[in-house]
Structure 1
Amino acid sequence: MSTQLTTPVNRQSVEALSRSKGEPDWLAQRRVKGAELAETLEWPKPEKTRIDRWNLNAIGAFKPQSPVASAADLPESVRSLSGEASAGLIVQRNSGVVHQQLSPELQAKGILFTDLETASREHAELVQKYLNTVVAQDENKLTALHSAVWSGGVFIYIPKNVEVELPLQALFHSDDAEASFSRHVLIVADSHSRVTYVENAASDYSAAAEPQALVQQAVVEVIVKPGAHVRFATVHHMGDNVVDMTIRRALIENDGRMEWIVGDMNEGHTLSDTRSLLKGNGSTSDAKAISIGKNKQQMSLTTGAVHFGRNSESEMVTRAVMKDQATAIINGITKIEKGATKANGQQMEKVLMLSPKARGDANPILLIDEDDVKAGHAASVGQVNPEQVYYLMSRGISKQEAERLIIHGFLAPTVSEIPVKAVRDQLQQLLERKLEI
């Protein structure tokens, strides 16, 4: 058991960090505010998960990274994830971005796709306007600490009426457990724009026999302006020495649409919180999430939608597979505020158990403060259907292969939604690895 007594940063350390990066004064002040808030706030308290027993202070130290000239100079394990069909690519290694590119055609349209640190200097007005507006610094100790120490990250701005046909992609890679790995992603899609963003977070500590503990802190903020459409796909695969704590939020204005596709395939403890704030009339949100737990993993997986706008709609689907002694607490939260008439919120959580010692709790939660609305939920926790196994075996398929096919069919609806083939293929490989029966 770890006891969280102190915060691993203070005013002096974050001021020194900001000076070393040459950041503008407004960002340095914001980092200081985050460090001060972190001293007074508490860690998040997810349902039925004691994250205070995790080693939450092992955030590593900032280590500058050397850039690479082209994607060809990246390690093969990283390069293989990028695929061939992205409009732009950003690669972050440990604490800093080492490579970024954006097609000239998109640059000519006024699209901004760069690391957040560069954007804070070169596009300060935009970044200062939106940073920490969807995920507030004072939400809890995690958000405050992250706002003090984040590094690298991604900033995307899509101008009005601009549609990006091919995905923008980011690869986050950790191979030094002593280096901080805390990124911040900020996406702003202006009115009637459209963009797909795909990210992959992975670790490789093969050079270290027993890598030390590390906490990955990641925060995502998405602003969807009126009539805009953002599609966000992410796959996380961190080692068993890493605690992955990721908060994702989207603010959606009139007739805007947000799509989340989340694959939490980590080997270690995981806190994943993905929510949409449907502020505008006619706004919509669609969230699909999958996760696989094994060994003694502990996972808190939350998807949520808060309806403020009239005629707003949300749909959430979470599918999880638990084996060995893994534990997953899966929360689906639909909140319809007073005044959100004609809102429609639907959710479904399904957990498949592969071991009698595994645990999966599906908690559908509806919080309704308005009368003229629709809301519904479905939740199930169970084992592989023996009748399905028997049917496949009657067709000459072995029991082990039958169970594998059923599990893949259970997860396939979300896997198929990944918009980049290289990432989709990697997710399939991760599924095979974690589902070895």
Structure 2
Amino acid sequence: MTTQTILPVDSVALRALSESKNEPAWLAEQRQAALELAGSLELPKLEKTKIERWNISAYGQYKAATAISLEEAPETIHSLIREEEDGTLLIQRNSGVVYSNLSKDLADQGVIFMDLETAVREHEDLVKKHLHTAVKSDEHQLAALHSAIWNGGVFLYVPRNVVLDKPVQAILLSDDGTAAFAPHILIIADTNSEVTYVDNYVSGQLGAEVSHIGVAEVFVKAGAKVRFATVHQFGDQVTDVSFRRAVVENDGSIEWIVGEMNTGNTASDTLSVLKGNGSTSDQKTIAVGAGSQKLNYTTQAKHFGKSSSSQMITRAVMREEATAIINGITKIEKGATKADGQQTERVLMLSPKARGDANPILLIDEDDVTAGHAASVGQVNQEQIFYLMSRGISRTDAERLIIYGFLAPVISDIPLKELQDQLQSLVERKLGQ
């Protein structure tokens, strides 16, 4: 039995919107097909989470964006703009990109960095070949809806043998509760290239509830290295559901750094498809839940290539009445000999009413492999608190030290100092310190 769905836009309005944006025919038809799918597909199945009870239908309406200068950027995001005056930066505000800049140095090397809506027209062959091929429209209802209504977005292409020594940055802001906000991230790292991409998802004074259904697709060609860092810090009026996928070819490498710092209900699914021989994936996730938040985080690695390796580390802190479901899934396919998959999930609960559930899963279809997992869920150790208090440290400071010690193995391993500092500050804010 399918789920009854009230679609946020009808076929006629969606086609008119495509025409107003001058989208190519193939994209307009792709949107139409996805909208039709959305009316028949089920919602995604989340472990021990009834997502149908969440507010995932507050999509709003498309509102055309107006370009701004960097000086006109909203106060909400000023502290996140880290690049120099000529730096590479993109800002999406609600339904569209309002600022985009690519440094001359990167442009001269053939790097492409722009909003996805423009890239569809100016780099059609690259976009058409990859768009919606890692996260397919027919996966479930939310994937289909996103494929139909995505707006703004980020397109990043790094040519063969080009190595970027500075991060490429995007800021994605929702501050109008009536405006549709559905950015799509598409990254292609060509053979033997290297890039670090950093984005921040932020909300302002919305005045209404907002549903963010986001998708990121990353294609790592042979020998390429991609570091993808993302921090979500939406307010409690935003329900955030994100799907991230990387497809990694021979000797390619993907590193995910995910900071889940929202204050509303959140679900995310981050998957590395290790398609090539010698491909690698490293996923680091930290999360802090508070209030009555419902959280569901899934990290996955699927091994197809020989001698492929994956590492997944998730650490979550739950306070007050927050609940978290942490899923780690390592799948080693038949033929992926010499593959190695390791994962660790740990949840620390700061309140008797907080709940955490860690679910490590190994699915192995090949004999000549190594794989392992570790998981733990527990309360703050009172003996450690009493010990610290006996040394003259207050209970509040003692708990804070224990929490920071719990998260430190992940935060300290993040290779971007500015991102370390940002996550540390967000952890302090969420813990009320």
For Structure 1 versus Structure 2, the TM-score category normalised by the shorter chain is over 0.9
Aligned match of 1:227: 223
- The Cα of 1:423 is off from its aligned counterpart by 4.4
Matched, 1:121 2:117: no
SS of match in other structure, 2:138? helix
Residue among 337, 341, 344 paired with 1:345: 341
Contact 2:8 2:60 in 1 (8 A): no
Separation in structure 2 between the aligned mates of residue 415 and residue 358 of structure 1, nearest angstrom: 23
SS of match in other structure, 1:156? strand
SS of match in other structure, 2:405? helix
Deviations 1:322-370 (A, max 9, x none): 1111111110000000000010000000000011111100000000000
- The Cα of 1:289 is off from its aligned counterpart by 0.3
SS of match in other structure, 2:256? strand
Aligned match of 1:137: 137
CA gap 1:272/1:325 in 2 versus in 1, 3 angstroms: same
Aligned match of 1:36: 36
SS of match in other structure, 2:398? helix
Matched, 1:301 2:297: yes
Separation in structure 2 between the aligned mates of residue 30 and residue 13 of structure 1, nearest angstrom: 15
Residue among 369, 387, 390 paired with 2:386: 390
Aligned match of 1:184: 184
Separation in structure 2 between the aligned mates of residue 426 and residue 166 of structure 1, nearest angstrom: 17
Separation in structure 1 between the aligned mates of residue 154 and residue 311 of structure 2, nearest angstrom: 27
Deviations 1:64-84 (A, max 9, x none): 111113x22212331220113
Contact 1:83 1:421 in 2 (8 A): no
Matched, 1:290 2:286: yes
Query: What TM-score results when the alignment is normalised by the length of structure 2?
Result: 0.96
Matched, 1:83 2:82: yes
Separation in structure 1 between the aligned mates of residue 422 and residue 342 of structure 2, nearest angstrom: 30
Matched, 1:50 2:50: yes
SS of match in other structure, 2:183? strand
Deviations 1:197-226 (A, max 9, x none): 000001011xx6xx2221011100000000
Deviations 1:45-91 (A, max 9, x none): 1000000111211111111111113x222123312201136951000
Contact 1:4 1:52 in 2 (8 A): no
Matched, 1:323 2:319: yes
Separation in structure 1 between the aligned mates of residue 14 and residue 410 of structure 2, nearest angstrom: 40
Contact 1:80 1:422 in 2 (8 A): no
Residue among 386, 408, 413 paired with 1:412: 408
Separation in structure 2 between the aligned mates of residue 119 and residue 5 of structure 1, nearest angstrom: 31
SS of match in other structure, 1:137? coil
1:231-250 → structure 2 map (5 Å cutoff): 231-250=227-246
Separation in structure 1 between the aligned mates of residue 334 and residue 432 of structure 2, nearest angstrom: 48
Please tell me the residue identity of whatever aligns with 1:162.
V
Q: Indicate the percent of aligned positions where both proteins have the same amino acid.
A: 60
Aligned match of 2:429: 433
**Misfit runs of 4+, over 3 Å:** 84-87, 416-426
Aligned match of 1:92: 92
CA gap 1:161/1:118 in 2 versus in 1, 3 angstroms: same
Separation in structure 2 between the aligned mates of residue 239 and residue 251 of structure 1, nearest angstrom: 31
- The Cα of 1:418 is off from its aligned counterpart by 4.9
Separation in structure 1 between the aligned mates of residue 108 and residue 335 of structure 2, nearest angstrom: 42
Separation in structure 1 between the aligned mates of residue 417 and residue 75 of structure 2, nearest angstrom: 17
Aligned match of 1:366: 362
Unpaired runs of 5+ in structure 1?
none
Query: How many residues align structurally?
Result: 430
- The Cα of 1:422 is off from its aligned counterpart by 4.8
Separation in structure 1 between the aligned mates of residue 12 and residue 422 of structure 2, nearest angstrom: 41
Bigger shift: 423-432 or 119-128? Answer: 423-432
Aligned match of 1:260: 256
Separation in structure 2 between the aligned mates of residue 5 and residue 124 of structure 1, nearest angstrom: 32
Unpaired runs of 5+ in structure 2?
none
Aligned match of 1:18: 18
Bigger shift: 161-170 or 77-86? Answer: 77-86
Residue among 379, 390, 412 paired with 2:375: 379
Bigger shift: 87-96 or 368-377? Answer: 87-96
SS of match in other structure, 1:407? helix
Matched, 1:103 2:103: yes
Separation in structure 2 between the aligned mates of residue 56 and residue 402 of structure 1, nearest angstrom: 39
Aligned match of 2:331: 335
Aligned match of 1:61: 61
Separation in structure 1 between the aligned mates of residue 401 and residue 111 of structure 2, nearest angstrom: 42
Measured on the aligned residues, the alpha-carbon RMSD in Å equals 1.5
- The Cα of 1:180 is off from its aligned counterpart by 0.8
Contact 1:41 1:138 in 2 (8 A): yes
Please tell me the residue identity of whatever aligns with 1:312.
S
Separation in structure 2 between the aligned mates of residue 241 and residue 323 of structure 1, nearest angstrom: 19
- The Cα of 1:420 is off from its aligned counterpart by 5.2
Query: What TM-score results when the alignment is normalised by the length of structure 1?
Result: 0.96
Contact 1:87 1:166 in 2 (8 A): no
Separation in structure 1 between the aligned mates of residue 33 and residue 202 of structure 2, nearest angstrom: 30
Deviations 1:233-267 (A, max 9, x none): 00001111111010000000000000000011111
Deviations 1:142-161 (A, max 9, x none): 11000000000100000000
Contact 1:305 1:333 in 2 (8 A): yes
Separation in structure 1 between the aligned mates of residue 107 and residue 383 of structure 2, nearest angstrom: 55
Contact 1:200 1:423 in 2 (8 A): no
Separation in structure 2 between the aligned mates of residue 364 and residue 318 of structure 1, nearest angstrom: 11
Separation in structure 2 between the aligned mates of residue 433 and residue 105 of structure 1, nearest angstrom: 37
